[in-house]
Amino acid sequence: MASGSEGFRRASRDWLGTHFPRALAGLGPRYMSSETPPEPTPAFLAWKRAIAEKGWGVPTWPCQYGGAGLSEEEAAILAEEMAAAGAWTPIGGMGVMMFGPTLLEYGTEQQKLRHLPGIADGSIRWCQGYSEPGAGSDLASLQCRAEDKGDHFLVNGQKVWTSGAQWSDWCFALVRTDPSDKRGGISFLMIDMRSPGVTVKPIRMISGSSPFCETFFDNVEVPKDNLLGATGQGWTIGKRLLQHERGGISQMSSDVPPLHALALTHLAISDDGRLADGELRVRIARCEMEALALALTVARIQSESEEGGPPQATSILKNVGAWLAQERAELMLEILGTRGLGWEGAGFAAPELEACRQWLFSKAVSIYGGTTEIQNDIVAKRMLGLKDA
């Protein structure tokens, strides 16, 4: 490790020591991936402001777009130091994980300057307008129309599974600009959710919350400036964005406490120190080992792509990540037993209620971002060269 990076490590540690509120240590999952997040406290808001000013919510983005311009190595050091301090970034969501990287790749300078800083400081929320009632796995058959009206597109149609649409400022959407060309007729628009003609209807999920909506576009005018890439390039850009989503899912479960720790506090232990339930013990080991194998694979594939190796393995990582998220949620309920089946009200601790909701929500992980079946099709056809009849 070069001495420069040691310097960066020390500086990061110092800065975190000064700015990260101890009271938030380890609460990242509760705030950022919970079905029922707490209300933001003053400490949370102060921490969000501080990290946004530093650009460390999106540390590798260039400074002019609100990032910190860190190298991958520095970002890795920062992540280590944050983990060591129990710190976590309050700046997340689809803007950071999916849309920002895509905009960095395909946007004009003007588009980047306009949209990235609001993502970087967590002030502007984005939602995804991809799926439609008749276009789920078969995304390319989407029907939401965008007619070219000279200086703007006129958008009419319906999207579904627009996550967080009810709280979002903007929507990145795939729309049909040419009905005669299935994939080549799709374009990628950025739509201001406050535009006249946008209606949002939250969908109640089995977990009781409504993180997704139906979104209706009724003669919505979208300025031409808000087209990302060229007309008809939407399918290419949209798929690229999904790779970022899948990459995110494969890394999702890395910052959660290990299952076995929970098991040791809740379950019977044998005289030799092992979990007494031999079957559950094996399942926990399998799950934790699979998580480590996935983390090692994410790291290997990243380092290989940096050195010019094969880059397109997100589909297999997404499927493993989905399996892990679901198996982990199943095991949480196995460990908690009936205590993990509470819905609300008296008699249950907050983490117990949270485990139940998470278990329900986890069933979506193998559906959104392209189902497990779609990923397997992609692997079989594109990576393994197996053709359809």
Partner 1 sequence: MPLSIQEQTMLADSVGAWVARESPVTAFRRVRDAADPLGFDPAAWRSIAAMGWAGIAISEDQGGAGLGLAAAGLIVAGLGRALVASPLAATIAASAAILHGGDEAQRRLWLPSIAEGTAIASIACDEGGHHDPARLRTKAERVASGWRLSGVKPFVAEGSAATLFVVAADTGLFLVPADTQGLAREPRSMMDSRGHASVSLDVTLPADARLSDADLDTVLDGVRALAAAEMLGLADAVFAMTLDYLRVRVQFGRTIGSFQALQHRAATLFTRIELVRSCVAAALAALDARADDSRSLVSLAKAQAGDMLNLVTREAVQMHGGIGMTDEHDVGLYLKRAKMLEGAGGTSAFHRDRYARLNGY
Output the smallest distance, CB 282 to a second copy, in A: 5
For residues 249 and 365, the answer to whether their CB atoms sit within 8 Å is yes
Binding of partner 1 by 224 (CB under 8 A): no
Size of the site for partner 1 (CB under 8 A): 91
Locate 330 and state its tokens. 């199943």
Nearest Cα neighbor of 295 from 355, 341, 251 is 251
CA dist 236 and 226 (Å) reads 17
Q: Of 205, 236, 240, 255, which one interacts with partner 1 (CB under 8 A)?
A: 205
Binding of partner 1 by 183 (CB under 8 A): no
Residues 241-269: b if buried by 16+ CB within 10 A, e if exposed: bbbbbbbbbbebbebeeebbebbeeebee
Output the smallest distance, CB 80 to a second copy, in A: 34
Output the smallest distance, CB 279 to a second copy, in A: 5
- Measured from the CB atom, the residue of 9 and 266 that comes closer to partner 1 is 266
Locate 1 and state its tokens. 């490790």
Contact residues for a second copy, defined by CB under 8 A: 278-279, 281-282
CA dist 301 and 306 (Å) reads 9
CA dist 260 and 280 (Å) reads 10
Q: Of 96, 222, 320, 332, which one interacts with partner 1 (CB under 8 A)?
A: 320
- Measured from the CB atom, the residue of 278 and 309 that comes closer to a second copy is 278
Active site members: 245
For residues 247 and 294, the answer to whether their CB atoms sit within 8 Å is no
Output the smallest distance, CB 141 to a second copy, in A: 15
Output the smallest distance, CB 125 to partner 1, in A: 21
Residue 1 binds which of partner 1, a second copy, none (CB < 5-8 A, kind-dependent): none
Nearest Cα neighbor of 93 from 123, 72, 66, 65 is 123
Binding letters toward partner 1, positions 23-62, x by CB under 8 A: ----------------------------------------
For residues 225 and 107, the answer to whether their CB atoms sit within 8 Å is no
- Measured from the CB atom, the residue of 54 and 283 that comes closer to a second copy is 283
- Measured from the CB atom, the residue of 191 and 332 that comes closer to partner 1 is 332
Nearest Cα neighbor of 341 from 360, 361, 362, 356 is 356
Locate 65 and state its tokens. 């777009």
Q: Is the dihedral of CA 93, 94, 100, 102 positive or negative?
A: positive
- Measured from the CB atom, the residue of 30 and 281 that comes closer to a second copy is 281
Binding letters toward partner 1, positions 327-366, x by CB under 8 A: ---x--xx-xxxxxxxxxxxxx-------x--xx--xx-x
Q: Of 39, 151, 271, 279, which one interacts with partner 1 (CB under 8 A)?
A: 279
